[in-house]
Structure 1
Amino acid sequence: MTIHPKFTPELLLSAPRRSAGIPNASGSLIAFTESTYSFESHSTAKELRVLDVETGKSVFITNAFQGVPQWLGDQDKLIWLKGAENGNTSFVTGDAYGKSRPYTAGTVPGPVSDLKLTKIASDKFGIVVSGKSNQDGSLHNPTEAKKPLSSGKLYTSLFVRHWDKYIQPQKNALWYGTLQLQPSIHGRSTDYYCLSELKNLFRLLDLKNVESPIPPFGGTDHFDICPRGIVFITKDPALNPALHTKCVLYYCALPSWTEAVPLELKTVKINELNGALASPVLSSVDNMLALLAMREDGYESDKNRLIIIPNLFDGGYEPVEVFATKDGIGAWRLSPGSLTWAPDDSSLFIQAEDVGQGSLFQLPITPAVGSSSVADLVKLAHRGSITSVVPVGNNLYLTSSNLVEPSYYTILELSPYRVLSEHYASSSSIGLSHRQIDEIWWRGAHDHPVHAWVVKPSHFNPNEKYPLCYLVHGGPQGAWNNQWSTRWNPAIFAEQGYVVIAPNPTGSTGYGQPFTDAIQNSWGGRPYEDLVRGFEYIERNLEYVDTTRAVALGASYGGYMMNWMQGHELGRKFKALVTHDGIFSTRFALATEELYFPIHDLGGVYWNVPQNWDRWDPSRFLDKWSTPQLIIHSALDYRLSIAEGLAAFNALQMRGVESAFLTFPDENHWVLKPENSLVWHRTVLNWVNKFVGLEPVWVDEEGGDEVRN
Structure 2
Amino acid sequence: MSKRKIHATDIFNLISLTDPQWDKHSRKFAFVQTTMHEEDNEYRSAVYIGDLEGKTIPFTTGKGRATSPRWSPDGSKLAFVSNRNEKSQIYVMPANGGEAEQVTFCKNGARGPVWSPCGTKILFSTSVEGVQDLQQDEEEKKKKKHPEPLVVEKMRYKSDAKGFLDEKNDHLALLDLKTKEISLLTDGDRDYGTPAWSPDGKSIAFVTNLEENPDVSLVSDVYVMDLETKEKKKITNSNGFYSALTFSPDGQYLGFLGHEKEFQSATLSRVWVTKLESGETHCLSENLDVEIGDVAIGDFHSGNVNPGLMWTEDSEGFYFLMSDQGGTGIYFGSLDGAMYPIHLPDEHVYAVSMLTGTHEAIVGVSNSTDPGELYHFDLKSQTRNQLTNVNESWKNEVELCKAEPIQFKAKDGWELHGWIMKPAGFEEGKKYPTILEVHGGPHAMYANTYFHEFQTLTAQGFVVLFTNPRGSHGYGQHFVDAVRGDYGGKDYLDVMSAMDYALESFDFIDENKLGITGGSYGGFMTNWVVGHTNRFKAAVTQRSISNWLSFYGVSDIGYYFSEWEVQGNMEDKVEKLWEHSPIKYVSNIQTPLLILHGEKDYRCPVEQAEQLFIALKKQGKTTKLVRFPEANHELSRSGDLALRIHRLNHVKNWFVEYLQKA
TM normalised by structure 1 equals 0.84
Letter aligned with residue 351 of structure 1: L
1:529 aligned onto 2:526: no
1:287-327: CA deviations, max 9, x gaps? 521112312278233122321113x2xx322112214xxxx
Q: In 1, distance between residues paired with 2:60 and 2:28?
A: 13
Contact preservation (8 Å) 1:24, 1:76 = no
Number of the residue aligned with 1:492? 456
Aligned length: 634
1:527-574: CA deviations, max 9, x gaps? 1011122211111111121121111101111111111112112xx111
Report the Cα offset of residue 664 of structure 1.
1.3
Using CA pairs under 8 Å that are at least 6 residues apart, name the structure with larger relative contact order, 1 or 2: 2
Number of the residue aligned with 1:69? 69
Bigger mean CA deviation after superposition, 620-629 or 458-467: 458-467
Distance 1:9 1:88, change over 3 A: closer
SS in 2 for 1:7: coil
Report the Cα offset of residue 265 of structure 1.
1.4
Aligned residue runs from structure 1 range 22-421, under 5 A: 22-26=21-25, 28-59=27-58, 61-63=60-62, 66-83=66-83, 87=87, 89=89, 91-96=91-96, 100-104=97-101, 106-110=103-107, 111-120=109-118, 124-136=119-131, 138-139=133-134, 144=140, 149-163=146-160, 165-179=163-177, 194=178, 196-203=180-187, 208-213=188-193, 221=194, 223=196, 225-226=198-199, 227-241=201-215, 243-254=216-227, 261-270=228-237, 274-296=239-261, 299-310=264-275, 312=276, 315-323=277-285, 330-337=286-293, 338=306, 339-344=308-313, 345-363=315-333, 365=334, 369=335, 371-373=336-338, 376-392=339-355, 393-394=357-358, 395-421=360-386
SS in 2 for 1:423: coil
Distance 1:416 1:616, change over 3 A: same
Number of the residue aligned with 1:707? none
Letter aligned with residue 687 of structure 1: W
Bigger mean CA deviation after superposition, 556-565 or 380-389: 380-389
Contact preservation (8 Å) 1:210, 1:237 = no
Q: In 2, distance between residues paired with 1:434 and 1:224?
A: 44
Aligned residue runs from structure 1 range 381-530, under 5 A: 381-392=344-355, 393-394=357-358, 395-426=360-391, 429-430=394-395, 436-485=402-451, 489-530=453-494
Q: In 2, distance between residues paired with 1:529 and 1:178?
A: 58
1:677 aligned onto 2:644: yes
Report the Cα offset of residue 418 of structure 1.
2.0
Report the Cα offset of residue 61 of structure 1.
3.7
Q: In 2, distance between residues paired with 1:55 and 1:619?
A: 54
Letter aligned with residue 321 of structure 2: Q
Report the Cα offset of residue 84 of structure 1.
6.2
SS in 2 for 1:447: coil
The structure number with the bigger radius of gyration is: 1
Q: In 2, distance between residues paired with 1:127 and 1:485?
A: 37
Match of 2:560 among 576, 581, 596: 596
Report the Cα offset of residue 78 of structure 1.
2.1
Number of the residue aligned with 2:302? none
Number of the residue aligned with 1:326? none
Match of 1:559 among 495, 516, 523: 523
Distance 1:195 1:417, change over 3 A: farther
Unaligned runs of 5+ in 1: 180-193, 214-220, 255-260, 324-329, 696-709
Distance 1:542 1:35, change over 3 A: same
Contact preservation (8 Å) 2:54, 2:388 = no
1:258-297: CA deviations, max 9, x gaps? xxx4321111134xx7121121111223352111231227
Q: In 1, distance between residues paired with 2:514 and 2:437?
A: 11
SS in 2 for 1:596: helix
Q: In 2, distance between residues paired with 1:555 and 1:222?
A: 32
Q: In 1, distance between residues paired with 2:520 and 2:465?
A: 18
SS in 2 for 1:168: coil
Identical positions, percent = 20
> What is the Cα-based RMSD across aligned positions, in Å?
2.6
Contact preservation (8 Å) 1:245, 1:300 = no
Contact preservation (8 Å) 2:368, 2:402 = no
Number of the residue aligned with 1:633? 597
Q: In 2, distance between residues paired with 1:305 and 1:43?
A: 37
Contact preservation (8 Å) 2:45, 2:66 = no
Report the Cα offset of residue 73 of structure 1.
2.7
Q: In 1, distance between residues paired with 2:646 and 2:47?
A: 29
Bigger mean CA deviation after superposition, 396-405 or 164-173: 396-405
Q: In 2, distance between residues paired with 1:561 and 1:356?
A: 20
Report the Cα offset of residue 434 of structure 1.
8.1
Contact preservation (8 Å) 1:134, 1:140 = no
Q: In 2, distance between residues paired with 1:105 and 1:577?
A: 50
Q: In 1, distance between residues paired with 2:136 and 2:451?
A: 33
Letter aligned with residue 331 of structure 1: N
Contact preservation (8 Å) 1:84, 1:90 = no
Q: In 2, distance between residues paired with 1:140 and 1:301?
A: 41
Distance 1:453 1:245, change over 3 A: farther
Distance 1:277 1:445, change over 3 A: farther
1:578-604: CA deviations, max 9, x gaps? 011111112122121212111111224
